[in-house]
Structures are given as C-alpha cells and as structure tokens.
Chain A
Amino acid sequence: MKARGIAALAASVMLAAGLAACGSGGGSDKSSPKTLTYWASNQGRSIQQDQQVLGPELKKFEAKTGIKVKLEVIGWPDLLNRILAATSSGAGPDVVNVGNTWSASLQATGAFQPFDDATIAKVGGKAKFIPSTLTSTGAAGKPPAFVPLYGLAYGLFYNKKLFADAGLKPPQTWQDLVTDAKKLTIPAKKQYGVVMEGASYTEGSHFAFMFGAQNGAKLFQGGQPGFDSPQMVAGVKQYVDLMAGQKVVNPSNAEYVNDSDMLKDFAKGRAAMMMIQSYAPKGLAENGMKEGEFGVVPIPVINPLPPGGRKVSSHVAGINIGVFKNTKNKDGALKLVDFLTSPDEQKILDTQLGPLPVVPQAYNDPKFQTPEIKTFKDILANSAETLPMIPEEAQFETLVGNTVKQLIADAASGKTVDDQTIKNALTAANKKMQTGG
C-alpha cells in the first residue's frame, strides 16, 4: 500500500520536474541592480525598427553605466492594457513609456515614482525640458509622475501636386479646408479630399478634444464630465462630418485601424489632405513620397471662432517616460531616463524615429531646422492645448474615442449621423464615465 503511494507520488514529482525543465526557457529576468527592463512605445515605422534604433543606444548606456537594459517595444493597441496589468499586479518593467495624455490617470494609480524636486534633479532638473512639454506630465499641484521623452504635434499634410493642379492654396480656415476637400474629391478617380484613421479610438478622442475646444467645450468641469455639451457635439460633428455630411472621405477609411493605410493612401495621391502627428514624413518616405511633394500647415480652425472657442489646432502630444515604484534599481532607472532625455540622445532618437526633441539644446542640430519642424514648433508654441490632466483622462479617451469611431462607422455604412445621433452617443459615454469611475 504505502510503497504504491510512494511510487505514485514519485511519478507526480517527476512530472513536476519535467514541467520545470520544459518551462525553464525564457522568463523575465529579475530586475537585479545590474539589469533594467524598459518598455518602449512603438515610435518608428515598425517594432523592429524601434529595436534597431534603440538597441545600439542602450548598448552605449551599458558601456557608460554597466547596467544592462532589457528592451521590449510594445505596439499602441496593447500598451495601455499592458501597463494596467503591470500596475494591478505590481510586476512591471522598471522604466516605461506612456502616451503623455494618460499621465494624470496613471499617476492616480500610485504605481509611479513621483518626480519631486530631488528626483527630477537626478534627471537634469525641470530647466532641462521645454516648458510646454512639462504641461502634460501629471495633475496640477502634484509632483509630476513622468518626464517628457518625445514631443509630437498634429499638422495638416497636403499633397502639393494635387493642390497645384486644382489651383488651390493650403487652407487657412476650417471652412477653406472643407471647400478644398470637396473640390479635390473625385470618387471616380478614387481620389478623396481627406484621409482619416477612422477605426482608431485614440485619433477619435484627440480630434474630439481639439475641435471641441475650437467650439468652446470644456471636457470636465469641477470633476464632472461634460462630453455631451452642445460645444462637444459641434466639435465631434466637425470631424465626423468629413465622412458623414461632406462626404470628402473614402468610406473605406472607417476600417483604418492604424496609420499605415492612411500613409499609403496619402502617398499614392488617393487623398489630398491628412491630419496626422509630426512623425509622418518617415512613413511617407517609406511609401515612396519624397520630401518636396507634400507641405505641412497647422490644422485650420473655424473662422470666426464661435463664442468661447479657442484657437486649438493640436493637443500637446508626445510620449513621456516614467519609473515604476516597484523597481529594485531606482537610481539605475533614473540614470536611464536622464540618458534618454540628454540632448545628444534626443538628436539621435528623434532624427531616426521622427518625433520632436523635448530639450531645447537638441534643436541646434541642423536636422531640426527644416520648415516642417519649424511649423510644428510654432503649433506647439501658439495653438496647442494640453488635454485635461486629471485621473479620468484615460477613460475620456477610451469612451469618447470609441464613440467617435462608432459614429464614423455608422456614417460610412450610410446611416444618418446628425446632431441628435451624436448627442445621444456622447450622452451614453458621459453616463458610463459617471457610473464606471
């Protein structure tokens, strides 16, 4: 009896041992003082390109400090969920990139090392960064939870040849943009005025915010969401109407879930205009469109602005970098943050990946003296507004962004999308915000 039991037990033990042998491959290294795990967002044209760009730089960092960095580049569709999962379990990387608009929301989880005066001094101090980039690193009145890493801004890219052939100049006002887009829409030639990333919730939420601001909307007032105010309805309509009312967008765009489709259409001349962030030229080049073939102007605003409307043609976009509180190597993590935000590294990373530097010294490089970069710098300086830095911001993005996505899909498949439909959809999002949080 006993012997049998022991035999069976031995079998179980062997099974477990076999399991352990099987699973020994891979596994994340423990963050010992000599290694760091870094989650980078996907900035380049592909995850592989990001790895190729960051790899050598992190080797430099290792040579300098003796700290080995384990890099993982995460695509945008997964990044927020991965960070949330890491936060909820306490098992995350040491250093992480976040979309800067999420800063206050992620700060509220308490999972990130606050950059109080002593901490920020270790990465070069507040004075190191361009002031406008510091506006979206956390809630007002608290030490920021992140520091800026890459700057980005929206611009309107237009196809010079298509505009010249039609005898048009780049639009100065939103009304101009709509008139031009109508002229440039020739469905028979498979040519449309504007191309949009219709199935992307992040784009949807950004435009809802920008155009809402042009119409005088406030997303939150006294902590209460106001997604369905008349001003927000007008703002969302301004964007969705390109597809619904004016029909200057190819309905297929409702299926575009990442920017590759959009860049391809624009590069091939299937769309005359594209509202996209400043990293686009790299992707256009990859699709065979040369530098001189497109121009960039700020996304035009309504003229005259409605009462309370603000001149907003971009939000202060960009990527921030932060340190998880659970890191076993805080000093090393901060060294990495300091290294990646140093002027020299900023020059290297930004020229290869396409965003804008967040430290002023990097701009003396002649590579950042092009007219496009100048345009984007002006946009950030004069007509950009920061998304509300409150804990509920990320939920605003997902709720309103998905609402906009759904409205675009409805418009594309021929349903009527008018003020009332938009208002109802936004009211539902607003209620979810109130009950969900």
Chain B
Amino acid sequence: MRESSAVRWARRIVLTFLTVFTVVPLYVMVVSSIKPLQDVQGAFTWFPSHVTFRPFVDMWHTVPLGRYFINSLVVATCATVCSVAIAIFTGYAVSRYRFAGRGTFMTVVLSTQMFPGILFLLPLFLIFVNIDRYTGITLYGSRLGLIITYLTFALPFSIWLIAGYFDTIPRELDEAARVDGAGPMRTLFRVLLPVAAPGIVAVAIYAFMTAWGEVLFASVLTDQSTRTLAVGLREYANQAQVYWNEVMAASLVISLPVVVGFLALQRFLVHGLTAGAVKS
C-alpha cells in the first residue's frame, strides 16, 4: 500500500511540530538545571555560559528536599499498594458476582471522579480532626491521612479498569479452577491475577502518578515533617533569591523516577486500556 506524498508530508510536518512542542520545555528544564545562577536570572540563553552541576548539589540544602523525597516516596508507594489491593478485591466482586446494589455501587464510585476537590477539602480536614479527637489516630499532618486520601483518589479508575480486565478473562478458567477444588479467593489469586498482571501494572502506574503529583490536599494536610515534594518545591520561592537553576534541577530529579517508570511500563498501560476499557 503506497501512500500519497501529501500524506507523507503531512506526517512529517505534524510529527515535527509535535516533537518541537514536546521537547522545548523539557530542554529548558534540563539546560537551566546546569546553568550558573546569573544565567537564569538574566535574559534567556539557549546554552549555559559554563556548565555547572552545582544546582544538583545545592538544591538539597536550600530546602530539605531529601525529607520531602522520602515523604513522597512513602506516601505514593503505600497509596499505590493499598489502592491496587483494594481495586483487585472490588474488581473481582464486581466482575464475578451479581449482587444487590452492584450497579449503584459502581455508579457512585465512578461519579466521585468528578467531585471538585475544593468541595470536600475542608470537610475532610474537619473529619480527620474529629477522628483524632475521638480515637487518637492522627490523620492530619501525618502521612497516614495523605495515604488514605490518595488511595481513594486513584480507586474509581482502578476498579473500573481491573473489573473490565477481569471481564475479558473467560469464566471457563474460573470453572476449571473450581472443579479442581479451589475456593473463590484461591481462584482470584491463582487464576485471575496472573492473567490480569498487565492491567494491574497499569493501575499501579496510574495510582502512583496520582499520588506523586497531587498539590491541593498535600498543602493542607501536611506539616513541616510530612510535607511532600509537590508542596516542597514551592519553597524555593521563599528565598532571598529565586534559584531557578535549583528549581529546574529539583524538578528534573523529582520527575525522573515517575517518567522512567512510566515509560518503562507504558506498554502495560496501553495493553490494560485496550483490554480493560475497550472490549471487542
């Protein structure tokens, strides 16, 4: 099948435009992170006057970035693990059982995706405080509160995707396992999970990215010791100088783990979306 030259040129032009559009900000981020301070305070230049890696060293002292990194890592990892685990159980129930209230449950869960965060930010804070007052479990200003919040943010999409994925797995497999004497939980772990691995990886990426990048709730629900990167990055602005080169260096380091992870695992996401959401 030959394609006409018009199509060929259209492809070249469109892809070139999209490449430039994508790359320029990334280039600015990288190049600014290896510039000396006076370079980022004056007019923009495409190249550093001299290359320096000082920003990558200094940025850890300007703000306690190391602590924020650990906080973000703990919060995002725990939120991801819990979110995926809950989504697996829920997805299994929704996919394999007919029970009263199933439709309502799915509708409500999915509709929470459209709640404006601002609507339940203060009430959530208030609830956390009251839980603390009556049970002694500290949820505000602690990582735990943030973990519970973030795992819920990723839950609707995760349940939907995993339930869809389970639906694509033929029930004959369940039946076969049952004939071998496996109970429902064993069927889930032995039969469904191995097949659904790509979908689960996809959900995990999504949940991790959600938690890693959330700003609004983190700014209200954390304090100095539990602050995450999303809030911490703003602190570079509260300095005697705005260290743009350090901001860019920090951004680069913060982005690297999620970007690398995402790119390494994105085929699972494509696969998961294909199998779970779009079923032929």
Q: Which residues of A contact B (CB under 8 A)?
A: 3-4, 7-8, 11-12, 15, 18-20, 22-28, 30, 42, 45-48, 72-73, 75-76, 78, 81, 85, 88-91, 257-258, 260-261, 263-264, 283, 286-287
Contacts and interface: CB of A to CB of B under 8 A. Distances in A.
A15 B238 contact: no
B41 to A, nearest CB: 8
Nearest to A23: B144
Contacts of B81: 18, 22
Contacts of A47: 63, 235, 238
Contact of A28 (B63, B223, B235, B242): B223
Given A85-B125, A89-B140, A91-B129, A23 B242 contact: no
Interface stretch (B25-33, B82-90, B246-254, B262-270): B82-90
B185 A7 contact: yes
Contacts of A42: 238
B132 to A, nearest CB: 7
Chain B's interface: helix, strand, loop or mixed, by majority?
helix
Given A22-B77, A22-B147, A258-B238, 14 more contacts: A8-B89, A11-B185, A15-B82, A22-B144, A27-B144, A28-B142, A46-B239, A48-B62, A72-B224, A75-B235, A90-B129, A91-B128, A91-B132, A260-B239
A18 B84 CA distance: 13
B51 interface: no
B141, B220, B235, B240 interface centre (most CB from chain A within 10 Å): B240
Interface in B71-106: 71, 74, 77-78, 81-82, 85-86, 89
B144 A15 contact: no
A42 B63 CA distance: 14
B66 interface: no
Contacts of B240: 45-46, 260, 263, 283, 286-287
Interface string B50-81: 00000000000011100000010010011001
Contacts of A26: 71, 141-143, 225-226
Nearest to B222: A26
B140 A28 contact: yes
B129 A28 contact: no
B183 interface: yes
A109 B269 CA distance: 50
B138 interface: yes
A335 to B, nearest CB: 22
A287 B241 contact: yes
B144 to A, nearest CB: 2
Given A48-B62, A91-B132, A22 B126 contact: no
B117 interface: no
A288 to B, nearest CB: 11
Contacts of B173: none
B176 interface: no
Contact of A264 (B234, B237, B241): B241
A261 B184 contact: no
B277 interface: no
A287 B237 CA distance: 16
Nearest to B127: A89
A85 B122 contact: yes
Nearest to B147: A23
- Nearest 9 pairs of A and B residues by beta carbon: A23-B144, A27-B142, A22-B78, A26-B226, A28-B141, A89-B129, A91-B129, A45-B240, A72-B224
Contacts of A283: 240
A25, A30, A47, A48 interface centre (most CB from chain B within 10 Å): A25
Given A8-B89, A260-B242, A18 B82 contact: yes
Given A85-B125, A91-B129, A261-B242, A4 B144 contact: no
A20 B144 contact: yes
Contacts of B138: 27-28, 30
A91 B224 CA distance: 15
Contact of A88 (B78, B126, B128, B144): B126
A19 B223 contact: no
B74 A22 contact: yes
Contacts of A28: 138, 140-142, 223, 225
A171 to B, nearest CB: 27
A260 B241 contact: yes
8 contacts: A8-B185, A15-B86, A23-B145, A27-B144, A28-B223, A28-B225, A47-B63, A85-B125
A287 B41 CA distance: 13
B129 A23 contact: no
Contacts of A27: 138, 141-144, 226
B205 interface: no
Contacts of A258: 237-238
A78 B224 CA distance: 13
B185 A23 contact: no
B86 A89 contact: no
A19 B148 contact: yes
Contacts of A8: 89, 185
B45 to A, nearest CB: 17
A3 B219 CA distance: 44
B140 A4 contact: no
A19, A26, A75 interface centre (most CB from chain B within 10 Å): A26
B90 to A, nearest CB: 11
B78 to A, nearest CB: 3
Nearest to B142: A27
B238 to A, nearest CB: 4
B78 A23 contact: yes
Contacts of B144: 19-20, 22-24, 27
A88 B129 CA distance: 10
B87 to A, nearest CB: 12
B79 to A, nearest CB: 8
Nearest to B224: A72
A76 B140 CA distance: 21
A3 B86 CA distance: 20
Contacts of A75: 234-235, 238
A89 B125 contact: yes
A88 B122 contact: yes
A180 B9 CA distance: 61
